[in-house]
């Protein structure tokens, strides 16, 4: 699930459901997030160029060893690491918790 200035996008495997409405008015997306779907809020990302060149999230588990730039594929956790560095906020984070 991704929410940005363009609206909300719910990625369902090979299908994406989207709306120009924010997540609060997108009941299917709000329900998915409430049930634990990872949610990436990109409203706070200011580097549009870096965001536009982010790699894609792999669907079948295969990874591209050179995972940088548009068109490359990375795991969801790697994608979250990258987009979080750009300032995105993550809810229902699927990454394992690390103790400090």
Six-digit token pair at 2?
A: 């991704």
Q: Does residue 55 form part of some domain?
A: yes
Q: Are 34 and 3 in contact (CB under 8 A)?
A: no
The tally of domains found in the chain comes to: 1
Looking at the predicted structure, is the pLDDT value of residue 64 above 70? no
Contacts of residue 78, Cβ cutoff 8 Å, sequence gap at least 6: 55, 67
The pTM score is 0.70
Structure confidence at residue 2 (pLDDT): 74
Q: Does residue 38 form part of some domain?
A: yes
Structure confidence by residue, pLDDT tens digits, 11-55: 766 666 767 666 666 677 778 888 888 888 888 888 888 888 888
Q: Nearest 10 degrees: CA dihedral of 5, 7, 8, 14?
A: -110
Q: Does residue 37 form part of some domain?
A: yes
Q: Does residue 96 form part of some domain?
A: no
Tokens 């956790």 -> residue: 77
Mean pLDDT of the chain: 77
Q: β-strand 7-12 against 15-19: which pairing, if any?
A: antiparallel
């Amino acid at each position: 699930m991704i929410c940005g200035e363009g609206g909300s996008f719910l990625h369902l495997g090979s299908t994406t459901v989207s709306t120009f409405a924010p997540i609060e008015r997108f009941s299917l997306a709000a329900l998915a997030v409430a049930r634990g779907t990872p949610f990436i809020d990109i409203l706070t990302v200011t580097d549009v160029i870096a965001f536009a060149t982010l790699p894609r999230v792999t669907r079948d588990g295969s990874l591209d060893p050179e995972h940088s730039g548009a068109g490359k594929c990375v795991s969801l956790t790697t994608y979250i690491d990258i987009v979080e560095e750009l300032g995105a906020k993550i809810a229902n984070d699927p990454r394992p918790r690390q103790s400090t």
